[in-house]
Structure 1
Amino acid sequence: MIKKYPLDELSTALGRIMGLLLTEEKVDRAVQLLSRAVRDAIPGTIGAGVSILDPHARPLSSGSTDSVVERADALQYELVQGPCLTAWATQQSLVIRDVATETRWPNWSAAVVDMPIRSVVSSPLMADGEAIGAMKIYAAVPDVFDDSTTALMELFAAPTATLLSHIQTTEIPERISESLQSALYSRDLINRACGVLMERHTLTEDEALQQLMREARVSRSTLSEVSAALLGVALDRPRGTSDGLR
Structure 2
Amino acid sequence: MAQQLPLDELGTVIARIQGLLLTEEKVTDAVQYLALAAKESVTGTIGAGVSLLDARGRRTSSGYTDKTVELADAAQYQHGEGPCLTAWATESPVLVQDLRGDGRWPAWQAAVRHLPIRSVVSVPLLAGKESIGALKLYAATAGVYGPSSPGLVELFAAPAATLISHIQATEAPHRMTEALQASLYSRDLVNRACGVLMERHGLTHGEALQQLMRKARETGSPLQDISASILAGTPALRD
Instruction: Please indicate the TM-score interval, normalised by the length of the shorter structure.
Output: 0.5 to 0.7
Larger gyration radius, structure 1 or structure 2: 2
SS of residue paired to 1:136: strand
> What residue is the counterpart of 1:97 in the other structure?
97
> What residue is the counterpart of 1:11 in the other structure?
11
Aligned residues: percent identity?
A: 55
* 1:61–1:73 CA contact under 8 A, matched in 2: no
Deviations 1:112-134 (A, max 9, x none): 11101110001001112111100
What CA distance in whole angstroms lies between the structure 2 residues aligned with 1:98 and 1:171?
44
What CA distance in whole angstroms lies between the structure 1 residues aligned with 2:58 and 2:76?
11
Distance change in 2, residues 1:21/1:110 (3 Å): closer
Q: What stretches of structure 1 move > 3 A for 4+ residues in a row?
A: 1-4, 6-9, 170-173
Q: Of the candidates 157, 169, 172, which is equivalent to residue 171 of structure 2?
A: 169
* 1:49–1:137 CA contact under 8 A, matched in 2: yes
> What residue is the counterpart of 1:83 in the other structure?
83
Aligned residues between the structures: 174
Distance change in 2, residues 1:28/1:172 (3 Å): farther
Unmatched tracts of structure 2, length 5 or more: 176-239
* 1:93–1:123 CA contact under 8 A, matched in 2: yes
Alignment of 1:150-169 (within 5 A): 150-167=150-167, 168-169=170-171
What CA distance in whole angstroms lies between the structure 1 residues aligned with 2:2 and 2:70?
30
* 2:52–2:60 CA contact under 8 A, matched in 1: yes
What CA distance in whole angstroms lies between the structure 1 residues aligned with 2:174 and 2:90?
25
> What residue is the counterpart of 1:63 in the other structure?
63
> What residue is the counterpart of 1:51 in the other structure?
51
Q: How far off its partner does 1:7 sit?
A: 4.2
CA RMSD of aligned residues (A): 2.2
What CA distance in whole angstroms lies between the structure 2 residues aligned with 1:6 and 1:154?
15
* Length-normalised TM-score, structure 1: 0.66
* 2:122–2:137 CA contact under 8 A, matched in 1: yes
Distance change in 2, residues 1:6/1:26 (3 Å): same
Distance change in 2, residues 1:54/1:112 (3 Å): same
SS of residue paired to 2:64: coil
> What residue is the counterpart of 2:31 in the other structure?
31
* Length-normalised TM-score, structure 2: 0.68
Alignment of 1:1-246 (within 5 A): 3-167=3-167, 168-169=170-171
What CA distance in whole angstroms lies between the structure 1 residues aligned with 2:14 and 2:82?
27
Letter paired with 1:57: G
Letter paired with 2:79: L
Letter paired with 1:131: S
Letter paired with 1:169: E
Letter paired with 2:150: T
Letter paired with 1:68: T
* 1:20–1:163 CA contact under 8 A, matched in 2: no
Letter paired with 1:147: P
